[in-house]
């Protein structure tokens, strides 16, 4: 029993990342009808927002402290971050420590702007072109973004730790009545899951309970009629593109402590997120979220030794296998809408 619970928990953090990226992909597809191959790159840029912020906060100047000597006998040079000298040592250190959570605030405007710029600058011109062209141009964009990040941050993964407060693990089993040390779970993964839950709820309530969201939903159902009613649906869809980019960006920001970001992390996630979207059903937001968590949890179940002994390496291909089976039995995906992407 505790083993099952542990696997579910283990699947949640990856599942959250899948769900957030797939949610953004589906938002873009449902509103604009574009398959965005650059969405993984947006996730990656989000992660590098966190890296960038922590590097900016760590910018420091050197002072010479004549009272201390370094090992060569010269006066020791002491590096002090500007932040520390401005706000005092304690507050400064705390700010640097909290770089990743702070990057959330920092990244939202950046990602909104990036999404807006992408839609207005590039994708807008591709609505009337075939789907293949949309895939190709966003694929090209993904390569460009990835290479730019590589040029500035290098090809190696950059570790970006979570705040000291959240390092370490929680004995989750104790909370729900299992013996001690049965289920150990890192704090940050729990936070990642809760955070993604908050983002998902926020996106859904934004779509459900605001006038703006209502218009967007109406536009997803029948764009033409909404346009005829005198609503500038294009502008709203552009904003939704920005929102989708922000969702993926936030997923990236919060993912940095779990896995050190490198320039091709986006591509790695993108392929799986596509599978998630297809399994969930093209154009279905609920489907994307559900399939994200489902596949994340399935993946972690498949990595249990019980299953690995029967079929070695099943954990690495289970997602693809499930996708193939689902597409063969339910071509529309789990919760696919009728009439989306059908011949």
Torsion of CA 218, 223, 226, 228, to 10 degrees: -170
Q: How many CA atoms lie within 13 A of 270 on its CB side?
A: 21
Which H or E run includes 209? helix 187-209
Out of 274, 290, 294, 296, the only residue in the binding site for other proteins (CB under 8 A) is 274
Residue closer to other proteins, measured from CB, 90 or 343: 343
- Closer residue to other proteins (CB): 178 or 264: 264
Q: Does 19 bind other proteins (CB under 8 A)?
A: no
* Interface of this chain with other proteins, residues 126 to 155, rule: CB under 8 A: 127-133, 135-137, 139-144, 146-148, 150-151
SS3 content of the chain, % helix, strand, coil (to 5): 70, 5, 25
Q: Is 29 in the site for other proteins (CB under 8 A)?
A: yes
- Segment lying near other proteins (by CB under 8 A), choices 70-78, 200-208, 248-256, 334-342: 334-342
Q: Of the two residues 127 and 209, which places its CB atom closer to other proteins in the complex? A: 127
Of 286 and 315, CB closest to other proteins: 315
Q: Could you write out the DSSP letters of every residue in 114-125?
A: HHHHHHHHTGGG
Classified as helix, coil or strand, 42 is: helix
Task: Pick from 175, 198, 229, 271 the residue near other proteins by CB under 8 A.
Answer: 271
- We find the least distance from the C-beta atom of residue 118 to other proteins, in angstroms, to be 12
Q: Decide whether 62 or 342 has the Cβ nearer to other proteins.
A: 342
Yes or no: say if 188 and 166 are a contact pair by the CB < 8 Å rule. yes
**Binding residues among 295-314 for other proteins as defined by CB under 8 A:** 311-313
Least Å distance between CB 314 and other proteins? 8
Of these, 12, 158, 323, 335, which contacts other proteins (CB under 8 A)?
Answer: 323
Cβ–Cβ contacts within 10 Å for residue 281, how many?
Answer: 25
Count of residues of this chain found to bind other proteins when the rule CB under 8 A is applied: 56
Site for other proteins in 96-125 (CB under 8 A): 122, 125
Tokens (6 digits) for 80? 């002090």
Q: What are 272's two structure tokens?
A: 């799986």
Unique residue bearing structure tokens 């000597």? 69
Judged by CB under 8 A, the chain residues 229 through 268 that form the site for other proteins are 267
* Rounded Cα gap, residues 252 and 266, in angstroms: 9
Helix, strand or coil, per DSSP, at residue 229:
coil
The conformational region for residue 298 under phi > 0 = left, psi -120 to 50 = alpha, else beta, is alpha
Beta strands in the chain (DSSP E): 60-69, 75-81, 169-171, 184-186
Residue 79 DSSP label: E
Q: Could you say whether residue 343 binds other proteins (CB under 8 A)?
A: yes
| Residues lying near other proteins in the complex (CB under 8 A) | 29, 33-35, 122, 125, 127-133, 135-137, 139-144, 146-148, 150-151, 222-224, 227-228, 267, 271, 274-275, 277-278, 282, 311-313, 316-317, 320-321, 323-324, 327-328, 331, 339-343
């Amino acid at each position: 029993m505790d083993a099952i619970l542990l696997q579910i928990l283990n699947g949640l953090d990856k599942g959250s990342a899948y769900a957030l990226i797939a949610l953004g992909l589906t938002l873009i597809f449902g509103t604009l009808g574009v398959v965005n191959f650059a969405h993984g790159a947006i996730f990656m840029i989000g992660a590098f927002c966190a890296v960038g912020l922590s590097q900016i906060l760590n910018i420091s100047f050197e002072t010479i402290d004549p009272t201390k000597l370094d090992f060569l006998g010269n006066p020791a040079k002491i590096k002090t971050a500007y932040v520390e000298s401005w706000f005092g040592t304690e507050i400064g250190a705390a700010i640097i420590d909290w770089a990743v959570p702070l990057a959330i605030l920092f990244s939202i405007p950046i990602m909104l702007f990036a999404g807006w710029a992408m839609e207005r600058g590039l994708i807008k011109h591709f609505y009337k072109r075939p789907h293949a062209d949309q895939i190709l141009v966003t694929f090209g964009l993904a390569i460009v973004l990835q290479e730019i990040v590589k040029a500035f941050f290098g090809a190696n993964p950059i570790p970006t730790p979570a705040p000291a407060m959240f390092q370490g693990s929680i004995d989750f089993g104790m909370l729900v009545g299992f013996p001690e040390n049965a289920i150990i779970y890192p704090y940050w993964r729990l936070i990642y899951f809760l955070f993604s839950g908050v983002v998902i709820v926020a996106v859904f309530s934004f779509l459900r309970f605001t006038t703006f969201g209502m218009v967007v939903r109406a536009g997803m159902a029948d764009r033409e009629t909404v346009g005829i009613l005198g609503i500038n649906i294009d502008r709203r869809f552009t904003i939704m593109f920005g929102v989708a980019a922000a969702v993926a960006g936030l997923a990236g920001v919060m993912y940095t402590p779990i896995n050190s970001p490198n320039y091709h992390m986006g591509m790695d996630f993108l392929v799986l997120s596509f599978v998630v979207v297809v399994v969930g059903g093209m154009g279905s937001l609920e489907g994307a979220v559900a399939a994200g968590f489902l596949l994340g949890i399935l993946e972690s179940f498949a990595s249990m030794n019980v299953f690995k002994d029967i079929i070695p390496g099943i954990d690495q291909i289970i997602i693809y296998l499930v996708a193939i089976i689902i597409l063969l039995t339910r071509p529309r995906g789990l919760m696919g809408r009728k009439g989306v992407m059908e011949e």
